[in-house]
Amino acid sequence: MKKTIQRKYARLIARTGANIQKGQPVKLYASVDQYEFVTILVDECYKAGASKVMMEWDYQPITKLDYRHRTLKSLSKVEKWEEEKLKLMTEELPCRIYIISEDPDGLKGVNQEKMQKARIARYPIIKPYRDAIENRHQWTIAAVPSYEWAKKVFPDLTKSQAYNKLWDAILKTVHVTEDNDPVAEWEEHNKTLREKCEWLNSYKFDYLHYKSSNGTDFKAWLIPEGHWCGGAELTKQGVVFNPNMPTEEVFTSPIAGKAEGKVVSTMPLSYEGQLIENFWINFKDGKAVEWDAEKGQSLLTKMITMDETASMLGELALIPKNSPISESGILFYETLFDENASCHIALGAGYNDTIDGHLDMTNEECRALGINDSMIHVDFMIGADDMEITGYKDGKATKIFENGTWAE
Ligand code: ZN
Ligand code: ZN
């Protein structure tokens, strides 16, 4: 991929995505094999006004070795210096930029149990810091291709063909072309998403009913004090940022503990570096009570039983089947993209920012209204070509989706 277009993309991430403020520090998470793009991005961060850019490098094959060779005790420990770093983050409030490029099943073969136990052990120490920065700083997730990921997406192409094709596909989804103004396109795109949210918010639905011929027949109740969000978000300090690049979704957080019926997945799910395919989940009293998967059944069970609240919902998202990502016909094996191809729901944590007036509320207050709190937040796709979604308010029905797309 040409350096000029990579720079254009990097600039978009730094400005429209993270919207780095003059003098603000940046924390950048990336894989070591992406050093070339990341160098351009760091340059763009400084040009946007960053006071310092702190790198958090990662490399999947090394993560895999760590899980194989370190003891559970060693993996579970949060070192003092790690905690100091987290503490510093709550004081400096850096923008966080995540560049993802991992192989969707690059952690295949890792002992899932060990991974899960280590995560559970580390969580209580990390959580207070995570809560302390919520809504107080900008963050964004964007992607660049790796050869391994590209081969997974385009298995019939050569390594370099696949890599170039994935670059093209990614840039298309984030509205970057050689001769356009991506910042202006993002503004236009955000406006469209905002209009959809306003339409949904005007109804104040009590619950949504999803139905499709593959077996999905499911109801989820909405928080009365909640609303639909999409596209750009706002920090407590009033800074606009775009958390996901790309994004096509309009979403809300349902009431944790109030959902009934069956959902059937319509796309494979890459979770913790491994795939779960062709699965369904039954909900009762808001909790997943029964499930099955053709592939990755035990991983699905680990995910749903991660903690007490992983079996409850944190998100409902609406995406029409004619969104640019679903029309590309590409299965990315990466939630950042695939979630924008299809209606999805998420198990685990909900989003405080879907509550009216959340910026003046505490986490506890949001949770008391029905926002789920969990160690996980995992999106999975349930959108089908013939999906119908109906919203109900005081018993009155309004069609939201018909044949997999907006009813109006
Ligand atoms: Zn989503
Ligand atoms: Zn989500």
Q: What confidence tens digit (pLDDT) does each residue in 93-106 have?
A: 999 999 999 998 89
Segments making up each domain of the chain, as ranges: 3-173, 195-406
User: What's the average model confidence in pLDDT over 114-119?
Assistant: 92
> What's the pLDDT band for 359 if we cut at 50, 70, 90?
confident
Query: Each residue of 120-168: pLDDT tens digit?
Result: 999 999 999 998 998 899 999 999 999 999 999 999 999 999 999 999 9
Q: Which residues surround ligand 1, an ion (CB under 5 A)?
A: 249, 251, 317, 339, 379
In total, the chain counts a number of residues equal to 408
32-76 pLDDT tens trace: 999 999 999 999 999 999 999 999 999 999 999 999 999 999 999
Nearest ligand to the C-alpha of residue 338?
1
- How far apart are the CA of 351 and the centre of ligand 2, in A? 9
How many whole angstroms from 253 Cα to the centroid of ligand 2? Answer: 10
Let me know if domain 3-173 sits in CATH 1.10.760.10.
no
In angstroms, what is the span from residue 341 Cα to ligand 2's centroid? 13
Q: Which ligand is nearest to the CA of 349?
A: 2
CA 1 to ligand 1 centroid distance, Å: 29
CA 120 / ligand 2 centre spacing (Å): 20
pLDDT classification of 8: cutoffs 50, 70, 90: very high
According to the model, what pLDDT value does residue 134 have? 86
Q: Which ligand is nearest to the CA of 347?
A: 2
Distance of CA 4 from the midpoint of ligand 1 (Å): 31
Half-sphere exposure (Cβ direction) of 253: Cα atoms closer than 13 Å: 25
Q: Give residue 317 CA to ligand 1 midpoint distance, Å.
A: 5
pLDDT higher than threshold 90 for residue 112: no
Distance 308 CA to ligand 1 centre (A): 22
pLDDT digit string, tens, across residues 176-198: 999 999 999 999 999 999 999 99
- In the reported structure, the alpha carbon of residue 126 is separated from the centroid of ligand 1 by a whole-number distance in angstroms of 23
Pairing relation of β-strands 139-143 and 95-100?
parallel
| Mean residue pLDDT across the chain | 95
Distance (Å) from CA 381 to ligand 1 centroid: 9
- Cα–ligand 2 centroid distance for 347 (angstroms): 8
What is the distance in A from the centroid of ligand 1 to the CA of 249? Answer: 6
Per residue in 209-225, pLDDT (tens digit) is 999 999 999 999 999 99
b/e per residue, 97-127, with b = 16+ CB within 10 A?
bbbbbbbbbbbeebebebbbebbeebbeeee
- Per-residue model confidence (pLDDT) at position 31: 98
What is the CA(295)–ligand 1 centre distance, in A?
23
**Average pLDDT, stretch 4-24?**
97
C-alpha 146 – ligand 2 centre gap (Å) = 23
Ligand positioned closest to the Cα atom of 351 = 2
Q: What is the mean pLDDT of residues 255-271?
A: 94
pLDDT of residue 364: 92
Q: pLDDT at residue 1 above 90? A: no
pTM of the predicted structure, to 2 decimals: 0.88
